[in-house]
Chains A and B, each alone.
Chain A
Amino acid sequence: DAGVIQSPRHEVTEMGQEVTLRCKPISGHNSLFWYRQTMMRGLELLIYFNNNVPIDDSGMPEDRFSAKMPNASFSTLKIQPSEPRDSAVYFCASSFRSGDTEAFFGQGTRLTVV
């Protein structure tokens, strides 16, 4: 398996624009996580899906952020409208939730909002 695949790797956008980040989890994994990483706040959990269903989105900072998982092999994180403070590295991770399994991280998307 190629691992967790995220796209794009880098995104530079202007304030106010819509941004969509994409993630393809490892085949067979039934849990998916979106994280945001910044120097100030570290690695923050934004949302957690299990079997394509959002289980906990309490980490989503505000209504400008939304995430979907239409099927087991694809998820998106959308920011609309984007703001400079959204600049961060966004990671997607997936795992097979049998109770004691590791999470595999994608390479991340570095988002810069100018």
Chain B
Amino acid sequence: QQPVQSPQAVILREGEDAVINCSSSKALYSVHWYRQKHGEAPVFLMILLKGGEQKGHEKISASFNEKKQQSSLYLTASQLSYSGTYFCGTELNAGNMLTFGGGTRLMVKP
């Protein structure tokens, strides 16, 4: 049930854009995105429910393609503070357990 994330790692220069993908082999109710900095706990970014909606959070946004069971996280004009590991978490049903992908390590360089 664990979702699959790609790529595993990304290196960017400040101001560049990145896309992180998350896919599941099962029908999803929701997709959660979290960011974890080294030595800290994961911190919530956003939730997307089935329906193909897109959400935004500052210069970070995400979409959810219900038909493909895929979600993408878009980071535009990246900043140094965006560095960290990004995890997608998925739920198969409302109130179900939250299972995370393997993570994507993002490094933004000056």
Residues of A within 8 Å of B99, CB to CB, are 45
Number of interface residues of B (CB under 8 A): 21
Main secondary structure of the interface of A (DSSP, over half): strand
List residues of A (35-68) whose CB comes within 8 Å of B's CBs: 35, 42-45, 48, 50, 55-56
How many interface residues does chain A have, given as a range? 20 to 34
**How far, in Å, is B57 (CB) from chain A's closest CB?**
12
User: A99 CA to B43 CA in the complex, in Å?
Assistant: 18
User: A95 CA to B89 CA in the complex, in Å?
Assistant: 14
User: A99 CA to B29 CA in the complex, in Å?
Assistant: 9
Interface assignment of B103: CB less than 8 Å from any CB of chain A: yes
List residues of B (87-110) whose CB comes within 8 Å of A's CBs: 87, 89, 94-95, 97-103
List residues of A (95-114) whose CB comes within 8 Å of B's CBs: 95, 97, 99-108
Please determine whether B95 and A56 come into contact, CB atoms closer than 8 angstroms.
no
Please determine whether B44 and A103 come into contact, CB atoms closer than 8 angstroms.
yes
Interface residues of B (CB under 8 A from A): 29-30, 32, 40-44, 47, 49, 87, 89, 94-95, 97-103
Please determine whether A102 and B44 come into contact, CB atoms closer than 8 angstroms.
yes
Residues of A within 8 Å of B87, CB to CB, are 42-43
**How far, in Å, is B103 (CB) from chain A's closest CB?**
6
**How far, in Å, is A58 (CB) from chain B's closest CB?**
9
Please determine whether A100 and B49 come into contact, CB atoms closer than 8 angstroms.
yes
Please determine whether B30 and A43 come into contact, CB atoms closer than 8 angstroms.
no
